[in-house]
């Protein structure tokens, strides 16, 4: 899996922002000379991660490539409607929406990406950490603030702190009913320390990050989810893909042995 910056070419449309059109149609687009603007799409592999950059705004989205470029020039255009040259498209799942709260790439990466498509090589860890922080921010939002859907499907896009794949509060409840409101890493229980006010409080960790899933998918509250305390949850997400629960347990055990 490779991380990339991809530029929306904000000058193409005067009536709408190109980043909004990319979201609406679930694509990444380019237009013009095939060698310069078409062939770069052939470098992308399914599951590659794209950081959508819109000039004047910043990083406005994170998406996952869904297909290999078909090599086609499209005469029925979505984006480049006012130009005579060809349009090239690739399907992308834009699973994190930052358009209302863009990220300045200079803050995270120290520079502004130039050109249509650029691989993130030396700062791959920076990109992974940024995405993990965004996902964790949304994951930590209380499930009580979300409206419960009618079945255990996850992955619908809705606005939380940022637009990410939806967390299912019914799945959360069933997970806690099975595992208890106790951290599956360190065994911490909020009610033991804080009394009744802490009863039932716990974070829910997805063993497979929603960002790695393609669209809505079934969730098994017992096998796919685990209750964890905020501290352990933060450590789990110190890298991307996250540490496993077993790995974080080993960190704790190793630290205890070193201090005995």
DSSP 64-118: EE-S----PPBSS-SS-TT-SS-EEEEEEEEEEE-TTS-B-HHHHTSS---SSEE
DSSP 122-148: TTHHHHHHHHHHHHHHHHTS-GGGS--
**The predicted structure's pLDDT at residue 214:** 52
What predicted TM-score, i.e. pTM, was given to this entire model?
0.59
Residue 199 per-residue DSSP state: T
State pLDDT tens for residues 61-118: 999 999 999 998 887 888 888 888 888 999 998 888 888 889 999 999 999 999 999 9
CA-to-CA distance for 54 and 87, rounded, in angstroms? 18
CA-to-CA distance for 53 and 9, rounded, in angstroms? 9
Where exactly are the structural domains of the chain? 3-122, 144-259
CA-to-CA distance for 204 and 229, rounded, in angstroms? 8
Residue 216 token pair? 């809505």
**The predicted structure's pLDDT at residue 16:** 83
**The predicted structure's pLDDT at residue 156:** 47
Q: Among 3.10.590, 3.40.1000, 3.40.50, 1.10.287, name the CATH number for the domain at 3-122.
A: 3.10.590
Residues of the chain with pLDDT below 70 are: 136-169, 209-217, 240
CA-to-CA distance for 189 and 202, rounded, in angstroms? 8
Residue 194 token pair? 């804080």
**The predicted structure's pLDDT at residue 259:** 83
């Amino acid at each position: 899996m490779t991380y990339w910056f991809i530029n929306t070419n904000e000058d193409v449309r005067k009536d709408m922002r190109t980043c909004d059109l990319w979201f609406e149609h679930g694509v990444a687009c380019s237009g013009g000379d095939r060698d310069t603007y078409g062939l770069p799409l052939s470098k992308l592999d399914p599951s590659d991660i794209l950081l959508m950059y819109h000039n004047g705004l910043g990083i406005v989205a994170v998406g996952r490539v869904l297909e290999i470029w078909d090599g086609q020039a499209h005469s029925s255009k979505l984006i480049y409607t006012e130009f005579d040259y060809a349009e090239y498209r690739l399907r992308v799942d834009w699973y994190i929406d930052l358009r209302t709260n863009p990220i300045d790439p200079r803050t995270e990466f120290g520079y502004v990406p130039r050109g249509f498509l650029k691989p993130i090589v030396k700062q791959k860890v920076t990109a992974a950490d940024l995405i993990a922080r965004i996902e964790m921010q949304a994951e930590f939002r209380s499930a009580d603030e979300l409206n419960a859907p009618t079945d255990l499907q996850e992955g619908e896009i809705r606005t939380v702190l940022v637009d990410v794949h939806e967390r299912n509060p019914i799945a959360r409840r069933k997970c806690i009913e099975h595992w208890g409101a106790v951290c599956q890493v360190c065994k911490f229980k909020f009610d033991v320390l804080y009394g009744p006010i802490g009863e039932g409080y716990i974070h829910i960790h997805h063993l497979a990050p929603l960002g790695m899933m393609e669209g809505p998918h079934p969730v098994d509250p017992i096998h796919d989810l685990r209750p964890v305390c905020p501290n352990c949850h933060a450590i789990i997400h110190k890298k991307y893909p996250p540490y496993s629960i077993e790995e974080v347990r080993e960190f704790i055990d190793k630290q205890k042995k070193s201090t005995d």
